[in-house]
Amino acid sequence: MEQQITPIEGGLYVTTSEKPFHILKVLKFEDDIVHIALYKNRFDEIPAKVDGSSLLFGTINDKDGFGIGHLPLSYDEFVGWKPQFLQHSLVLPDELDGYQMWKESGGGVWR
């Protein structure tokens, strides 16, 4: 049985389902959809904490990968990434731009 997790808006999490480990931020949680930002930063070991100002999205042209500013995940998909809470941060209004566009367009969800 999967672990029960209540996603915390503003929470920074490390994904532990595979290496390298990724950092994500929960932007919004509603209707069993977890809206996240997925950063390009990768870690060989699970960090104890991260400096939020060091988290980057990059671009698709970056040789070391890129992140995604808004990714709507089903709750089950989010839990499948085995997220481990690291710390809380604020969700800034401009971080919700992708979410607002998704909502206005009736976008889909990664399952």
What tens digit of pLDDT does each residue of 19-64 get? 999 999 999 999 999 999 999 999 999 999 999 999 999 999 999 9
CB 35 within 8 A of CB 75: no
The DSSP secondary structure of 22-63, one letter per residue, reads: EEEEEEEEETTEEEEEEEEEEESS--S---GGG-----TT-T
Q: What is the mean pLDDT of residues 87-103?
A: 97
Residue 83 confidence class, pLDDT cut points 50, 70, 90: very high
- Using the predicted structure, report yes or no on whether residue 2 has a pLDDT greater than 60: no
Q: What is the DSSP letter of 9?
A: T
Residue 1 confidence (pLDDT) = 45
Angle 15-101-26 from CA coordinates, rounded to 5°: 25
| Exposed/middle/buried for residue 106 (C-beta within 10 Å: 0-12, 13-18, 19+) | exposed
pTM: 0.94
CB 1 within 8 A of CB 80: no
Q: What are the Cα distances from residue 15, in Å, to 44, 60, 81, 93?
A: 12, 21, 6, 24
